[in-house]
Structure 1
């Protein structure tokens, strides 16, 4: 199907059919909101959660309550920077996206916006992200800029390496460093362990996500961990999730966390185990649901860490 034959405003298959963008947003805004994945907030959640874990755990080590102002800033910052990142990704991948059923109706391959318009939109989101970043201490500001190299490199990795999810993880896990630095002004072993855990977690959940596209990816020559693991996808995801839990356990140990944090980690681990047990690689709809359920898994861990931090500060 050529770009000229694509519908002018088609629904995207991995968005909820009742999402507010398609139902309520003014029509001229919709392509831009879709570029930023506003109607698919799971990516913002997955970018946000390592920030929240690290921020709450760092507060606990200092005997402080969770910093609600920081947590709110992270919400705005992750929405803005995730939107900038997805817009950049769509600009780079617009020709590849046209070859994949799930992505061929995105605004750029569908011709709903031009590359110039997308670049201007991305610049606006980056400016908003910069305004958020400038609210933090100098160390955190520098750290925030450090992630840009990874973000710029990621879209090209699916063309040259068998597991591009690793580079995606390096970007999506960055909040594990930023959250800690924003509280303490530096980095420590728990921050690095959370960062490493979130990288491996990203490889696991994005492998589940990539199962939706495995056939189209093979035709288009797009690399993914789902293709790499092949018939051993269960084992691959399970190993990623086990390593994630072990690294997070190390972070809690080094931070001197208490029982509530470990209870949150136990619920997080149980949720990941349920995902692996439920997975059917041939069921794309199920893969999408399991991928999205990582929000609930991550929130359970955050609640445990935050509760422990509050108990330690009280």
Structure 2
């Protein structure tokens, strides 16, 4: 997530410089042939090109609206995760008896339940950072920009992170599974049942905690849907083809328009064609950055920072002495 006021013009130009070079060449070649060699047959009427541009604008607008909806839904899901996490920790703190924990390294079952929830958040964000073939972080411009910040999930291992929250037995069990987040919630449910059977948890309070675990399963499923089902490829493909088609046609339609000004004005086709095409290409790229809200881009939902915020709140609810610091933006990027 960009945490500054806005991207600078320099950042945008550097990020889209490959598109700028491409549209300059697309405009320079027909202009040089038209003005230098007299190939006037290259000029096309502007009206049909304008119609293509209108259709392209609708397609780009549709895509950007749809991809923004995906991004906003992802933020809403993580907002629900924040709220449910706090509710779970408060009820566990106040309603679970001071029962001994099942594993070493924990003071009591309350601490174990809260720490296992922090492990669930960790496993979830690592799963959401796993790359998919349709994601965009491997594009050269995005790779270059990612050097401005750090994606924590790609610098540490899940095993090391889980060791901070789980007993060795629980960590080994979870790491042996494919969907680690699912099995961590299953362990939560299992321990709550054990506490109920042992008399350390009231039955009515158990009935309050179970829906919270179910709600976390629901939020997990929503995250997996957004992660594993991309913006439909047919729409993404058509959008890309339309934008590139329009960018290639623009200079052919402007040749005669600028020639009417006389003299060397026809060469104005190059900068103005590049400007018009760049606007459409930049809008297409902007929509593309919102397609996959968890891949670790500068416009994604800051799941690492949100997980750290939850950890701070939950550790403070347990009155733990060591509270981690909140994550701060690096070059205005918060992940």
By relative contact order (CA 8 Å, sep 6+), the higher-ranking structure is: 2
TM-score w.r.t. length of structure 1:
0.30
- TM-score, structure 2 normalization: 0.29
Larger radius of gyration: 2
